A and B are shown apart, each in its own frame.
Chain A
Amino acid sequence: DQQVKQNSPSLSVQEGRISILNCDYTNSMFDYFLWYKKYPAEGPTFLISISSIKDKNEDGRFTVFLNKSAKHLSLHIVPSQPGDSAVYFCAANPSNYGQNFVFGPGTRLSVLP
């Protein structure tokens, strides 16, 4: 039973437009969420995070929105660039000490020039 879900395996967006990647979770104990980006043949790299006490966090072209009541978060990339083409993983951090991150299955984003 996946606790973190990314229901879109892939997404294609035109360069310059907005990319919206979605993530849903089931465990209400999650209190910190992170997005990681992964290029082929490389390990995932941290992109942006959000604490459960916030509903929005912005870093340049990247914004993450959190809707706790819906147990849903989304990553917005504006404007999208070809270099953003990668697999994006949503990860959740339980509040319990000693627990480990739970990752979603990932969404492959393709930004078309």
Chain B
Amino acid sequence: KAGVTQTPRYLIKTRGQQVTLSCSPISGHRSVSWYQQTPGQGLQFLFEYFSETQRNKGNFPGRFSGRQFSNSRSEMNVSTLELGDSALYLCASSLVYAGGIGDEKLFFGSGTQLSVL
């Protein structure tokens, strides 16, 4: 069974540009969550989608947005990039609800390393 696939693996952008990252969840998984990882901050929750609907959103500015398609694939978009947006962006899928009930586990992709110059 294929794992969570994120593309691209690496991105270099300049301030003010926008970027779109893509995530294909494990087949059959309907929930997709996005996290930002920066040194010393751990994984900061961005948002979660389930059945094409955003179910939950973390404490990030509106420049960060996402969507989920009918095949459960998800994209996240960051507009007007800032230097502080440089981070590893991780996508995770789960079968039902990410963290909603009991021991539902997250399965992570390898991430997209975004560098903003």
Contact = CB atoms under 8 A, between A and B. Distances in A.
Contacts of A89: 42-43
Given A44-B90, A94-B99, A98-B55, A104 B105 contact: no
B4 A43 contact: yes
Nearest to A51: B103
* Interface residues of chain B: helix, strand, loop or mixed (majority): loop
A100 B102 contact: no
Interface residues of B, number: 30
Q: Looking at A94, A100, A103, which has the most chain B CB atoms within 10 Å of its CB?
A: A100
B43 A44 contact: yes
Interface in A1-45: 4, 6, 9, 32, 34, 36, 41-45
Interface in A65-113: 89, 91, 93-94, 97-106
Interface of B: 4, 33, 35, 40-45, 48, 55-56, 58, 90, 92, 97-111
Given A32-B103, A44-B43, A100-B48, 17 more contacts: A32-B102, A36-B106, A43-B4, A45-B108, A46-B106, A46-B107, A89-B42, A93-B99, A97-B100, A98-B56, A99-B56, A100-B98, A100-B99, A101-B45, A104-B42, A105-B41, A105-B42
